[in-house]
Amino acid sequence: LNVEDILKRQTSPYLAKSSIINYLVYLGITDDYRAASYYYVGKKSKNYIPRKKLSLQKATEMVLDSGGIPVIAHPYRILIVDPSFKLEEHIAEYKEMGIAGLEAHTPSHTKEQELHVKDISEKHGMIYTGGSDYHSGDTSIIGSSDKELIEGLLNYRERKGR
């Protein structure tokens, strides 16, 4: 496979697993996205390259250094990895690192979880956000906005002089 050919066939300039899978389907090597993921780029395939992981502290520093606003994405998904995780117990640590908020609006949260994240954010003087890297097949809300979310981000930027 040629990386340049793969990138020419997509609008994003970034190469991802999905880029390779889509290209394999385009070439006619497979017509099964799930099988392509498993056999050609999945963790058990000979082509798999493990991700390099950043610490939360390092990722936060990089976001701050680039002028961004660091936010914990879909915090309830952490429970999948660690069922004993209690979000509110980590807020002081997050804030000390420079994390400014929590993602509340995400397809992976129930309405109850979304409200809980908003409550925790407000209680601890953090912003809450909605994800922009929407992974769901439902694209009906992409581009929509919540006035409170936008005001929270703008107020944060104003307070921090960013």
The strand ranges marked E within the chain are 71-72, 101-105, 127-130
Tokens 């002089």 found at: 161
Q: What pLDDT, in 10s, does the model give residues 123-161?
A: 999 998 886 555 444 555 544 456 777 777 788 878 877
Cα–Cα separations (whole angstroms), residue 103 to 1, 2, 11, 16, 68:
37, 36, 26, 23, 15
Angle at 33 between CA 39 and CA 132, to 5 degrees: 115
Query: For residue 70, is pLDDT > 90?
Result: yes
